[in-house]
Structure formats: C-alpha cells, structure tokens
C-alpha cells in the first residue's frame, strides 16, 4: 500500500519534470530560429555596424551569442563542446580583428544552435539537476540552460536595436 502511495505521489512530479524538459526543448528551438532570423535580417555590408564605439559590432554580437551558447550547453549537458572554427576563434579572441564575413558568422551561429538544441533535447532529469561548472560558477544543468537562454535573448534584443538603427524592421517573435 505504501508503494502505491509513493507511486501516486511521484506521478505528478514526473509529469512536471517532463513538462520542464519539453518546455526547454521547445523554447530553445524557437529562440534558435528567431535569433537566426535576426542574424539574417542584417545585410552583409552592415555586419561591422556598431551604434557606438564601445559596443560590439553586429557580427561580433552574433559570434558572441554562438560562442557563449556552446560553452553553456556543453557544461549543462556534459557533451563535448564542438571545436570553434579557427577563423572564428581568432575573431573572438582579438577585439581589434577585422570584421568577419556574414556567412561565416551565420554558419557558426547555426551550428551553435544545432549543438545546443541537441544538448537540451538529450538531457535527462539527472543532468538537469546535476550541479556543474567551474569552482567559482556552479549551477544546475537547468540553470546553465536558463541563464544562457536569457543571455541569448538579451543580446538578440540588442541586435534588434541595431537593425532598427539601420532602418530594418526586425522579424516578429512567434511563440
């Protein structure tokens, strides 16, 4: 009888855990698609655009989103982080580097989202709850995913302002 009571009490928790996982999978995919639309909305000749000198260029902003997502999704999932293409790694390392071409940045961004979507989808409840990270930055897998989902949204919002400053209407977000 106690066994049945435990099963009945755990059933809603298991359903909630599946719902949380399913929600993360869904919203990472939506965020991926929308961020790619924003990245593609900026013409190639404007990928070096900065609203003010202290800001990232549009292209560097997109590369930053991709690089940060790779690290966070690898950390959360335990999956091997993909190697960043040499050209992109050099660009990210040197803040004074010449701007990269739009197509290389869009490809890197797309690859990063493909990796993250695979990582998020593959995560078990144990991975979601496992505490991972560097000694000064430990979070659950879920927190890593949530934090970098938010990080993407923050920088995508900046990118939408860059588009508007160039006279381009950003794509509409669809849930």
Over the stretch 43-77, which tens digit does the pLDDT of each residue have? 999 999 999 999 999 999 999 999 999 999 999 99
* Cα 143 from Cα 129, distance rounded (Å): 9
CA neighbor of 67 nearest in space, from 80, 82, 56: 82
DSSP SS3 for 133: strand
7: confidence class by pLDDT, cuts 50, 70, 90: very low
pLDDT, position 16: 47
| Stated pTM of the model | 0.88
* Residue 65 to residues 5, 129, 158, Cα–Cα distance (Å): 46, 24, 11
User: What are the chain's domains?
Assistant: 33-165 (1.20.120.450)
């Amino acid at each position: 009888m106690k066994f049945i009571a435990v099963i009945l009490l755990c059933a809603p928790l298991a359903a909630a855990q599946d719902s949380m996982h399913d929600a993360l999978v869904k919203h990472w995919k939506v965020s991926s698609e929308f961020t790619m639309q924003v990245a593609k909305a900026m013409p190639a000749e404007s990928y070096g655009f900065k609203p003010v000198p202290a800001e990232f260029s549009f292209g560097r902003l997109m590369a930053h989103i991709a690089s940060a997502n790779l690290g966070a999704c690898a950390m959360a999932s335990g999956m091997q982080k993909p190697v960043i293409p040499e050209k992109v790694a050099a660009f990210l390392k040197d803040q004074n580097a010449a701007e990269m071409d739009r197509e290389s940045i869009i490809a890197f961004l797309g690859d990063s989202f493909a990796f993250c979507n695979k990582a998020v989808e593959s995560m078990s409840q144990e991975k979601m709850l496992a505490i991972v990270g560097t000694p000064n930055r430990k979070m659950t897998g879920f927190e890593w995913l949530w934090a970098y989902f938010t990080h993407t949204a923050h920088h995508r919002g900046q990118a939408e302002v860059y588009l508007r400053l160039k006279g381009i209407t950003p794509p509409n977000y669809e849930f």
